[in-house]
Structure 1
Amino acid sequence: MSGPVVTALGGGHGLSATLTALRFVTDEITAVVTVADDGGSSGRLRDEFGVLPPGDLRMALAALCSDTEWGHTWRDVLQHRFAGDGPLGGHALGNLLIVALWELHEDPVAGLDLVGRLLQANGRVLPAAAAPLVIEADVSGLDAGDPTARRVVRGQAQVARTPGTVEAVRLDPADPPAYPESVAAIRAADWVVLGPGSWFTSVTTHLLVPEVREALEVTRARRLLVLNLEPASGETEGFDAARHVQSLAEMAPRLRLDAVLADPAAVEDEGALAEQAARLGAELHLSPVSRRGAPGQHDPLRYAAALRDILYSPRPAR
């Protein structure tokens, strides 16, 4: 099939949905995954072994598995999660496998590539940063006596489920090193896809890694932002689609976009969203990408069709 060279940035279920859809569009896929997760199995392994959190990396690899009995079998093995309250309870087997490979190989990317070979993956998975990241957020609305007062909420898991309003986010360390392979993949792509996913803890986290943000700003690739199917949920409670794009511009003023994709059912004010997209140089594309009867879930084929229409469009003359 071949197709455009695409680098997809994100984490968790949002990135997994994008990778699943991209497999219908192109063979040239690289996933660059955030490494800020500190909850569940990933958080436990991160704390115990001092490694990158493997969970989002595992999910991206599983999404790229070959469409064969072999690929599906090993995908299911990787995704298998142990039950019970014992030491293995809650751990995904793929997380343990990835950490074991990291103990055998000094370079984490080499371990991820080996898992990719096991899955016969249609693409490559890379971490965004070379060290585990800690997200800190200034959150308002947590003090009933003073709704405008801000508190610092620390950790991806805590920020993702905060009941307050996220006012600002940052990383600790503030200037983490990026993986050279990830920066190179962003610079060499035809298209870079950002999102969907948890806005502050998966999507825009990439903009807080200086070398990744710079690569996004200077790449020759065209840039596509995919908005969430449920904009006003979790850490972005009260945000509409236009506010998401506005916050992206505030975090990375030099970043330009070429396209913004949104499901029309998730857009309250098309005019406001188109205006915010235009401020970043982007054209707004409205296309149904959710499952019929399940508006919060992506339909792989509908999502792939929307991506195909954008990624195969001719580059406009300058």
Structure 2
Amino acid sequence: MSGYEDANADAGYADGALPPRVVALGGGHGLYASLSALRRVTTDVTAVVTVADDGGSSGRLRRELGVLPPGDLRMALAALCGDDEWGHTWSEVIQHRFRSEGELHGHAVGNLLIVALWELLGDSVAGLDWVGQLLGAHGRVLPMSSVPLDIVAEVEGVDPARPHEVTTVRGQVACASTRGRVRSISLVPDTPPASPQALKAVREADWVVFGPGSWFTSVLPHLLVPDLAEALVSTRARRVVALNLSPQRGETDDFAAHTYLEVLAAHAPRLRIDVVLADRGVVEDPAELSRAVEKLGGRLVLADVAAADGTPRHDPDLLAAAFDEIFHA
């Protein structure tokens, strides 16, 4: 039996049954959470990752070398590492950041490794595949676009003295840390090319997962890349939205659970959703959320998916169990 077949058997796909083909969209810690869960459910998972980060190590490498920002791609690869010694070790290695008084300070080892392979191979997807092989990643990581992007946000109330004034803010870091409330986003360039491999993955998927994650800077950007947005609308795959556990300062201050869906619909009015997954402990008005889900054509699933320590993060095992039940309902 091959290693792939062994993994399928461990995940409960014996006797030649095929695992669900799942594509997860997002970036940063939210995508890390969903991938950590999904790799426990299926051996056929592909992450399609935002490429708009302009801060920290990623931003420095992007500005200096003109490459895609590697940080969110690195985090996705780390999330797909296995729970054995090899997986734990390599996950820690690529997430490790140098601490010094010099030029290397703050750079993540994985960012440098990814960029080195990009320079050697001249192909961003091939470079990520090679890193995935080294790590023994349980899935594939792809950029959503073949060029680096900037996020531009329309933000209300940046100046507390003028709470209704709308200001344009550019850059992922600026959008994510703004003092005001983000109303909408756009991309620069406004018609970026989608990664062909990402389009193929979406079209061939059984399930597409949106979220959890920073709504305006990690989840919604996928719906603003024209070819990717069309693929997400037209794919035969069923679509799941995994809602956040808590609002994010600036981006989603004062959001109720249903507000995430309203913003999603405003940015992608043609997108239909099959399932919305939310933690039952954080939804204040399940009836209102259920009505919002029905407007998008889907059904609401409430489950216990939050970590037991009270922090606003998903427990990977609980989230995996919820995904598994959804995929096999």
Q: TM-score, normalised by structure 1?
A: 0.96
Q: Of 34, 37, 44, which residue of structure 1 is paired with 2:50?
A: 34
* Paired residue type of 1:10: G
Structure 2 Cα separation of the partners of residues 157 and 143 of structure 1:
18
Distance in 2, Cα, partners of 1:39 & 1:232: 18
1:145: how far off? Answer: 3.6
Among 164, 172, 177, the alignment partner of 1:156 is 172
User: What residue is the counterpart of 1:265 in the other structure?
Assistant: 281
CA contact (8 A) 1:229 1:295 kept: no
CA distance in 1, matches of 2:290, 2:179: 29
Task: Spell out the pairing of 1:1-318 with structure 2 (5 A cutoff).
Answer: 1=8, 2=13, 3-231=19-247, 233-313=249-329
Change (3 A) 1:146 1:37: same
Deviations 1:20-44 (A, max 9, x none): 1111111110000000111111011
| Stretch deviating more after TM superposition (267-276 or 194-203) | 267-276
Kept in 2, the 8 Å contact 1:10–1:203? The answer is: yes
Whether the aligned pair in 2 keeps the contact of 1:133 and 1:173 (CA below 8 Å) is yes
Cα pair 1:4 1:312 within 8 Å, conserved: no
SS in 1 for 2:75: helix
What is the CA–CA distance in structure 2 between the aligned matches of 1:232 and 1:107, rounded to whole Å?
A: 34
Structure 1 position 234, deviation (Å): 3.8
In structure 2, C-alpha distance between the alignment counterparts of 1:230 and 1:305, rounded to whole Å = 21
Separation in structure 1 between the aligned mates of residue 39 and residue 246 of structure 2, nearest angstrom: 24
SS at match of 1:235: coil
2:249, 2:303 → 1: CA distance? 21
Q: Which runs of 4+ in 1 moved over 2 A?
A: 143-146, 231-234
Which stretch has the larger CA shift, 82-91 or 189-198? 82-91
Q: Secondary structure at the match of 2:103?
A: coil
Residue by residue over 1:25-76, the C-alpha shift from the partner in whole angstroms, topping out at 9 and shown as x without a partner, is 1111000000011111101100000000000000101111133222221221
Query: Counterpart of 2:36 in 1: which secondary structure?
Result: helix
Alignment-mate amino acid for residue 16 of structure 1: Y
Structure 2 unaligned residues grouped into runs of 5+: 1-7, 14-18
Deviations 1:67-96 (A, max 9, x none): 322222122111111113310000100000
RMSD: 1.1
Contact 2:99–2:106 (CA under 8 A) maintained in structure 1: yes
How far does residue 310 in structure 1 lie from its aligned partner after superposition? 0.3
Inter-partner Cα distance in structure 2 for 1:232 and 1:91: 25
Q: Which SS does the other structure have where 1:37 is aligned?
A: coil
Paired with 2:34 and 2:248, the residues of 1 have a C-alpha distance of 20
The whole-number CA distance in structure 1 between the counterparts of 2:271 and 2:74 is: 29
**Number of aligned positions between the proteins:** 313
Q: In structure 2, give the amino acid aligned to 1:162.
A: T
Say whether the 8 Å CA contact 2:21–2:44 is kept in structure 1.
Answer: yes
String of CA shifts for 1:232-283, please: whole Å, max 9, x gaps: 5441112111011011011100000000001122212211111111011010
User: Would you say the 8 A contact 2:184–2:216 is kept in 1?
Assistant: no
Cα 1:306–1:233 shift into 2, 3 Å: farther
Tell me the percent identity: 58
| Aligned partner of residue 285 in structure 1, secondary structure | strand
What is residue 4 of structure 2 aligned with on the other side?
A: none
Q: 1:104/1:246 Cα in 2 relative to 1: closer, same or farther (>3 Å)? A: same
Instruction: Determine the C-alpha separation between the residues in 2 that align with 1:169 and 1:187.
Output: 25
**Alpha-carbon offset, residue 4 of structure 1:** 0.6
